Homo-oligomer: A and B are copies of this chain.
């Protein structure tokens, strides 16, 4: 597997420097740390801190900026950041009104973010947290107790970020995040696995006519290995499992995200999106807003995930609020 890198051990360091070089008006890197914070700092508002293993770009550093995150911590590829790094992110992001941690549900992430929160509380920083577990594919995984956190996390960044930007208190921002988490579900698939640079080979092997349904975002195999079919049939399967949650019903309004896993042509994501709209339309579920693109990736994995977020007037307001970050700008 050919990777456009220099040294395997340096990929995260060089990537973060490449991001700050590209977007100096948005993000700066904390010296000696794998942490990106807002270039302009955070004052007078609740700060949002997220992160996790690297390899999910633009998540999470790409979402640091106005209306979304205040800091993002980058672990090694597919590896939780250490408590020390998260702690430094919390300290740097805190603007005096408290810090909300947005954690994707993986055992290592939860443990390390919680340890960091304890360290910060010892210094009298007000810290609270939410855990995103939007992936309906599995109830538990090798890496997770409970469901995994995947692309739905981006909606938590966006909506809780909008509440914080609007001056919400830590409790209010947390309540918005929890409301998003209660109303967001995702499921993904892959036609080809990703290759972690240090591993040098794909994390699982698929035959030329096979796909994996229910993949996560760390190269872990899915729940069903199936024969390749059309993207409509694949989308039907992902949607069926999401809709079986019982959250999205006739007359409801939803935001949709068709998320590429990193190696998927945008053309294919749009074709998938067409069918998602058709299926939801047939069910009388109204689509309020749609995102199509690479938001929460898994290196070079080829595949996509579908995310639905049920929205009411409050969530629509936060969804529509302006944002200005390297990877998500909304007027």
A21 touches B230 (CB 8 A): no
Q: Is A11 an interface residue (CB 8 A)?
A: yes
Q: From A194, which residue of chain B is reached at the shortest CB distance?
A: B265
B331 touches A6 (CB 8 A): no
Q: From A206, which residue of chain B is reached at the shortest CB distance?
A: B2
B302 touches A300 (CB 8 A): yes
A271 touches B14 (CB 8 A): yes
- What are the residues of chain B within 8 A of A204 when measuring CB–CB? none
Return the CB mask of A116-154 against B: 1 if under 8 Å, else 0.
000000000000000000000000000000000000000
B304 touches A265 (CB 8 A): no
- What are the residues of chain B within 8 A of A268 when measuring CB–CB? 3-5
Q: Which of B211, B267, B300, B304 contacts A264 (CB 8 A)?
A: B300
Given the interface pairs A271-B18, A274-B18, A302-B300, the reply to whether A6 lies near B231 with Cβ below 8 Å is yes
**A142 CB, nearest partner CB in chain B, Å:** 23
Given the interface pairs A273-B22, A302-B300, the reply to whether A263 lies near B265 with Cβ below 8 Å is yes
Interface size on A, residues (CB 8 A): 64
CA–CA, A232 and B228, complex, Å: 37
A191 touches B263 (CB 8 A): no
A231 touches B4 (CB 8 A): yes
- What are the residues of chain B within 8 A of A309 when measuring CB–CB? none
CA–CA, A310 and B234, complex, Å: 45
- What are the residues of chain B within 8 A of A299 when measuring CB–CB? 265, 267
Q: Is A322 an interface residue (CB 8 A)?
A: yes
Q: Is A178 an interface residue (CB 8 A)?
A: no
- What are the residues of chain B within 8 A of A191 when measuring CB–CB? 2-4
Q: From A192, which residue of chain B is reached at the shortest CB distance?
A: B2
Binds B, one of A42-50, A104-112, A169-177, A290-298: A290-298
Q: Which of B18, B265, B273, B294 contacts A300 (CB 8 A)?
A: B265
Q: Is A81 an interface residue (CB 8 A)?
A: no
B270 touches A22 (CB 8 A): yes
* A-B pairs with lowest CB-CB distance, top 10: A18-B270, A18-B274, A57-B266, A4-B268, A2-B191, A329-B329, A22-B290, A21-B277, A18-B273, A4-B231
Residues on A facing B (Cβ under 8 Å): 1-6, 11, 14-19, 21-23, 54-55, 57-58, 62, 191-192, 208-209, 211, 228, 230-232, 234, 258, 262-274, 277, 287, 290-294, 297, 299-300, 302-304, 322, 324, 327, 329-331
Q: Can you list 24 pairs linking A and B with CB atoms under 8 Å apart? A: A2-B192, A2-B211, A2-B228, A2-B302, A4-B234, A4-B269, A4-B304, A6-B231, A6-B271, A15-B267, A16-B270, A18-B270, A18-B274, A22-B258, A22-B273, A23-B290, A57-B266, A58-B266, A262-B265, A263-B263, A266-B294, A266-B297, A329-B329, A331-B331
Contacts A5-B230, A6-B230, A6-B271 given; 12 further ones with Cβ under 8 A?
A1-B208, A2-B211, A4-B272, A4-B303, A5-B231, A18-B272, A22-B270, A57-B265, A57-B267, A265-B300, A300-B302, A329-B330
